[in-house]
Amino acid sequence: MQRANKHPFLGKLLLAPGLAFSLSQCAAQPVFEPVQVLEPVLVDQIPLSQVQPTFAVKNWPNDNDVVARVHIVTIPPNYPVDVAVGDGLKTVKDFATETQALAVINGGFFDPNNAQTTSFVTVNGTLAADPRNNARLIDNPDLAVYREQILNRSEFRRYDCVDGIRYDITVHKATIPHSCTLHSALGAGPQLLPNDTSQVEGFTDYANGLLIRDAIGSQQRNARSAIGIKEDNTLLWVMAAQSNSAGGMTLAELAEFMATMNTQKVLNLDGGSSSSLYVLWADKDELNRTYYGRLDQNGQKIQRPVKSVFLIPKPIDR
């Protein structure tokens, strides 16, 4: 498994008590009520300006009519987020255990039949997962017309710049800003804000005004994962879990939710059974630190391993 480097300047924390490469969802204005907000507890002095990540859970659209339970990790500006990709498939808890991460959320698309990526992933400036090496994607005649769109889908990028860490969401072929280096990138899509890029990126297609392709079931409610960037470079990880097997969010509903959270740019991540989140400080009981988004017909959580993830690295003692 490859992952980005840890970062020594954060200080020490004590943590308190589909086949997704496109073979393989608008509701009334929601009201959000916080259910819980948890954050790491400091034991070693760090700069007061270095605010710590927080975790919250909200009912959507409201407490009286719960369609989804939205799990939110808020990451302050300049707080490093890394990317990891596995040789095979692993659960978010497995990724967290191997990397000693504080939090992990599922990332890009992959083919569960061969455990190969269908999204580009860059780790420490090196391309670590390349969909062009996935024969089931590249040689699939049904996808030939969408191939160039698939290979230039949007990705979340972390740049290391002369003025600090910078995050962006842009297409894979976008140039790197001046005075910055590409630290890591993880492809998924489509972008939800500021605009929906589903058709541009080949997730959806229309003929004579009719929808003829919807590779990720964008118009159906399902478990969803996304990453958003606020104007001040604050990041939001969002995992919307189903309240029942018909619950969750459409992509339009997810975009609306992210807009209410004041995000400027939002990237949809792999959803459905892949939607999963691990938060180390969420619960004293280790078994309750992992959240899965998708439910089966019996209401049981589906624990699906994934190919790539975002993670918050554990700080190194100074």
User: So what's the pLDDT on residue 78?
Assistant: 87
- Which value, to the nearest 10 degrees, does the dihedral of the CA atoms of residues 189, 77, 312, 266 take? -10
User: So what's the pLDDT on residue 316?
Assistant: 60
Both structure tokens of 292: 């899965």
CA separation for the pair 74, 20 (Å, rounded):
26
Q: Is the predicted pLDDT of residue 62 greater than 80, yes or no?
A: yes
User: So what's the pLDDT on residue 150?
Assistant: 97
Q: What is the mean pLDDT of residues 159-168?
A: 95
Contact 160, 181 (CB under 8 A): yes
User: So what's the pLDDT on residue 51?
Assistant: 74
Q: Is the predicted pLDDT of residue 41 greater than 90, yes or no?
A: no
Convert the pLDDT of each residue in 102-155 to its tens digit. 999 999 999 999 999 999 999 999 999 999 999 999 999 999 999 999 999 999
CA separation for the pair 263, 53 (Å, rounded):
16
Closest CA to 52 of 82, 78, 31: 78
User: So what's the pLDDT on residue 314?
Assistant: 81
| Residue 291 to residues 273, 279, 303, Cα–Cα distance (Å) | 11, 8, 9
pLDDT band at 197 (very low <50, low <70, confident <90, very high): very high
| Residue 245 to residues 26, 238, 248, 305, Cα–Cα distance (Å) | 19, 19, 8, 19
pLDDT band at 240 (very low <50, low <70, confident <90, very high): very high
| CA max distance for the chain | 62
